[in-house]
Amino acid sequence: MSNGLSYPKTSANKVQQQRYPLRPPSIEIQQQLTLPPSLPLKLQAHYDTTTIHNIVNTTPILHVSFLAPSDPKDPTSPPHPTILPMLGQMGSFSNPSSDESEALDCYLHGYTSGRLTSLTRTANGGIPICIAATKLDGLVLSLTPNSHSCNYRSAVLHGTATVVEDVEEKLYAMRLITEGMLPGRWQGTRVPPDETELRSTGVMRVVVSSASAKVRSGGPSDERKDVERGEVTGRVWTGVVPVWEMMGCPLPAGEGVGGEAPGYVTEYVEGRNRRERGYAEGGSGKVYGS
C-alpha cells in the first residue's frame, strides 16, 4: 500500500474493473487430473500517485491525446482526436526534491513550432489533454482464446497543458526529461543549452487534474468447464511468457570521445535490464534468478 497521495475518483479516470476469478476444478476432478499449480491473478485499479507517476516515469514514450481544431481551409470539417508520441517526466519546479509519492506536474518535450506546442501557445488558459503510458509485462496463454490476456501496467493522466516560457523552468524541465531518459546524462553533455537551443525547444507543463492506473499480473484464469475437461488440459499448454524492454550494448558514434561508454551509461543499462526482467518474471509467478 502506498503512503503517498491519491488522485480523486472522477467520471474521467474511474477504472471499470473486470474480474476474472480463477474457477478451480471440483475436488473430484482434481483427484483425477494432474494440473500445474495456478499462478495467482491480480487485476487492480490504482489511484495513488506513487504507482501512477512511476509508470509514467519508466515508460520511454508517452502518448499524448488532444482535440485538434477543424481545418481552417474547410470550416465544415469536424475536429479530430490526435495522438502524438512524446517524451515526458513527472516533476515539480516549485519543489524539485519531490518524489513520486507527491503532487507533480507532467513536463512534455517538443519542438517550439510543433503542432501541439503551437496550439497550446495560442489557447487561452491552455488546452485539455490526455496522457497514456503502458508497459507490457507478459503474454498470458490460457486454455481458450477467449481467456488469453496480457500482464501490463498502464496509467492515464488528464490535465491542462500550457507552454513553459520561463527560462529557469524550461531548463529544469529539459534536465528532468534528459535525466529521466538516462540518469547522469545531463552533466555528461555540453550544458547548459545555448539561447538558440532554448528557443527551438518547446516544453509544456501539464497540471494533472485526475489520473488512474490499471495493473495486471499473474497467470491464466480459465473457466471451470475447461479446467475440468481432461481432453483440453491434456493437450493445451498454458502459462505466461514474460515480456520486458531490454537495452542493448551502447554503440559509439563518430563524434565525441568514442570507445567504451562511460560507467553511468553501462551501469544504468545493466540495472534497468535487471529491473525490467525481474518485474516481468516476478509478475508471471517466477522469482527472478530462480
Q: What is the pLDDT of residues 164-177, one digit of tens each?
A: 999 999 999 999 99
pLDDT band for position 198 (50/70/90)?
very high
Does the structure show a pLDDT above 50 at 237? yes
Quick one: average pLDDT of 54-70? 94
pLDDT of residue 190: 95
In degrees rounded to 5, what are phi and psi of residue 210?
-155, 155
Lowest average pLDDT, out of 38-47, 214-223, 251-260, goes to 38-47
Task: Return the percentage of the chain with pLDDT > 70, whole number.
Answer: 87
Buried b / exposed e across 117-129, counting CB within 10 Å, b at 16+?
A: bebbbeeeebbbb
pLDDT at residue 72 above 80?
A: no
The pLDDT of 260-283, averaged and rounded, is 95
Confidence label for 83 from pLDDT (cuts 50, 70 and 90): very high
**In the predicted structure, residue 140 carries a pLDDT above the cut 90:** yes
Averaged over 115-140, what is the pLDDT? 94
Does residue 27 surpass a pLDDT of 50? no
Q: How confident is the model at residue 191 (pLDDT cuts 50, 70, 90)?
A: very high
Average pLDDT for residues 138-142, to the nearest whole number? 95
pLDDT at position 39 = 56
What are the tens digits of pLDDT across the range 92-106?
A: 999 999 999 999 999
pLDDT of 202 higher than 70: yes
CATH number for the segment(s) 27-243: 2.30.110.10
* pLDDT over threshold 80, residue 267: yes
Q: What 3-state DSSP class applies to 45?
A: strand
Interacting residues of 207 by C-beta distance below 8 A, sequence separation 6+: 105, 126, 159, 160, 162
288 has pLDDT over 50: no
- Give the model's confidence band at 285: pLDDT under 50 very low, under 70 low, under 90 confident, else very high: low
State the Cα–Cα distance between residues 6 and 44, nearest whole angstrom.
15
pLDDT in the model for residue 114 = 86
Q: Does the structure show a pLDDT above 90 at 243?
A: yes
Q: Residues 30-55: pLDDT tens digits?
A: 444 444 444 556 678 999 999 999 99
Give the separation between CA 95 and CA 97, rounded to whole angstroms.
6
Phi, psi dihedrals of residue 52, rounded to the nearest 5°: -65, -50
What is the spatial distance between Cα 22 and Cα 19, in angstroms, rounded to a whole number? 9
Q: What are the extents of the domains in the chain?
A: 27-243
- The reported pLDDT for the residue numbered 2 is 52
pLDDT above 90 (res 115): no
Q: Which three cell numbers stand for residue 1?
A: 500500500
Least confident stretch, 65-69, 266-270, 276-280:
65-69
> How much of the chain exceeds pLDDT 90, in percent?
66
Mean of per-residue pLDDT scores for the chain: 87
